[in-house]
Amino acid sequence: MFLVLGGCLAARQDVEVPKEKLREYLSNPKILHEGFCLLLTSADSYGIAHDKFLSAESKNALRYEAFVLGITQVRNLVPVGFERLVSGIRLHKSSEPQNDTMIVRWCNAEFGFSREFKLVLTRIGKFQFWQIDLRREDLEAMQEPLLAWYRKQKDAANDQRLVYPPGWKYAAIDACDCTRN
């Protein structure tokens, strides 16, 4: 009973992103990942992430249920690792916009995660904003770096899996595809 209660209390609450901040994220492709990743840290915010940050083509290819299932599968592999992975994603490089699209590389060196994403400029009336052309493969690409990070933690902790001592420092992989070459 106490474990269930403790798990409920520890669950992350809905991330509140003010409308102005959301507009700022969507209008600037250099910080789009910050807003998207912030929303992925809370399961209650997956709907906003799907609705606002994914391109129309992505929403057709990756319906809401498939998006939530894909994120949840990755999150459930290593919950604490998933939050560290998405909150640590940084813009590594970006191309110049061409024909309302641009390619960005998002990385997290702690996990060895590095992936290119296509961003699409969407126009509705006088408003224009950037959205992510996300695919199922992009979600699945998070799994291997997450598992590699988990194995590294386990090795650093002499095969302890669930409980780390107070003050534990997570062991980083410290390389993404961009920094290895």
pLDDT for 11: 44
The CATH code that applies to domain 19-158+172-180 is: 3.10.450
Asked if pLDDT for residue 1 goes beyond 70, the answer is no
pLDDT interval class at 74 (50, 70, 90): very high
Give mean pLDDT, residues 148-157: 84
pLDDT interval class at 158 (50, 70, 90): confident
Asked if pLDDT for residue 82 goes beyond 70, the answer is yes
pLDDT for 133: 97
Place of tokens 């209008």: 27
CA distance 103 to 20: 25
pLDDT digit string, tens, across residues 38-72? 999 999 999 999 999 999 999 999 999 999 999 99
Neighbours of 22 (CB within 10 A): 17
pLDDT for 180: 52
Give mean pLDDT, residues 121-126: 93
Asked if pLDDT for residue 3 goes beyond 60, the answer is no
pLDDT interval class at 2 (50, 70, 90): very low
Q: Are 77 and 143 in contact (CB under 8 A)?
A: yes
Mean pLDDT of the chain, nearest integer: 86
Packed helices 19-27 and 32-40: angle between N→C axes, nearest 10 degrees:
130
CA distance 53 to 57: 12
Place of tokens 């001592």: 165
